[in-house]
């Protein structure tokens, strides 16, 4: 069965620090990869997505992610975080033969101290 | 251009009761999926509707059922409610079933269900 692992459950950073959140998935076929953010009390918003092509994907709000196929990873990065980045971050996988079904990782809570 | 709208936003039900949650997809979208997000957990896929038929289903019992109407809106029904059904129920819409680079999934703000 497919699964998605986010190893960091809670990350605490100071403003201007760099961020990297890990995401690994288990699936042998072709996958589409996503990072979503959920601000407190708000709905899930898409940060970025990867379907094919350049494995380095740029998203909104200065976030980027790199797909490393050999490591089954899709880590999220941001060079300098802001207090407003405090939120829950979810990695999600969609297998090409699974229609629109998304499988989410457990989420990483990011707290940015001003 | 309206995004995904869900109703009600909050509701409280008693064990054993039945509940119906509603979702209107983003304008132009024809596919609706439902997810359950328990407090502090990740969203879990319940099922997906396209062309008024259930196309995919996650690991949820038959107590969870749904419907899609000709205008693409959808309902999620849960029968014989259990305490463990307390969660945020998310509706997601997209254009067509299969995800493509130009086809983004949009999520609604969810319906908070508390079972007491």
Residues A70-90 pLDDT 10s: 999 999 999 999 999 999 999
What pLDDT was estimated at residue B2? Answer: 57
Per-residue confidence band for B49, with pLDDT thresholds at 50, 70 and 90: very high
Asked if A33 and A46 touch (Cβ cutoff 8 Å), the reply is no
Q: CA A72 to CA A28: how far, in whole Å? A: 9
Strands B106-107 and B87-94, sheet pairing: antiparallel
Label residue A58 exposed, middle or buried (CB < 10 Å: 0-12, 13-18, 19+).
exposed
DSSP state of B84: G
Strand, helix or coil for residue B105: coil
pLDDT single digits (tens) A5-52: 998 999 999 999 999 999 999 987 889 999 999 998 888 999 999 999
pLDDT single digits (tens) B10-28: 999 999 999 999 999 999 9
For residue A91, pLDDT over 80 is answered with yes
What pLDDT was estimated at residue B96? Answer: 82
* Best to test chain B binding among A2, A29, A43 (most B CBs inside 10 Å): A43
**CB within 8 Å: B90 and A100:** no
């Amino acid at each position: 069965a497919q699964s998605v692992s986010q190893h960091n459950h809670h990350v605490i950073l100071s403003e201007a620090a760099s961020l990297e959140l890990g995401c690994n998935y288990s699936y042998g076929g072709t996958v589409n990869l996503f990072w979503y953010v959920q601000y407190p009390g708000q709905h899930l918003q898409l940060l970025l997505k990867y379907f094919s092509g350049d494995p380095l994907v740029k998203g909104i709000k200065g976030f980027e992610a790199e797909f490393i196929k050999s490591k089954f990873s899709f880590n999220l990065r941001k060079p300098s975080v802001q207090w407003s980045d405090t939120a829950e971050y979810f990695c999600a996988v969609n297998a090409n033969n699974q229609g629109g079904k998304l499988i989410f990782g457990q989420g990483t809570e990011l707290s940015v101290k001003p | 251009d309206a995004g995904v709208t869900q109703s009600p936003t909050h509701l409280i039900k008693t064990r054993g009761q039945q509940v119906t949650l509603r979702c209107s997809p983003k304008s132009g979208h024809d596919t609706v999926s439902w997810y359950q997000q328990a407090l502090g957990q990740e969203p879990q896929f319940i099922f997906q509707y396209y062309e008024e038929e259930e196309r995919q289903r996650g690991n949820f019992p038959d107590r969870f059922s749904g419907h899609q109407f000709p205008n693409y809106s959808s309902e999620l029904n849960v029968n014989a409610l259990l305490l463990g059904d307390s969660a945020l129920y998310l509706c997601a819409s997209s254009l067509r079933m299969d995800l493509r680079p130009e086809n983004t999934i949009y999520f609604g703000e969810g319906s908070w269900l508390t079972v007491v």
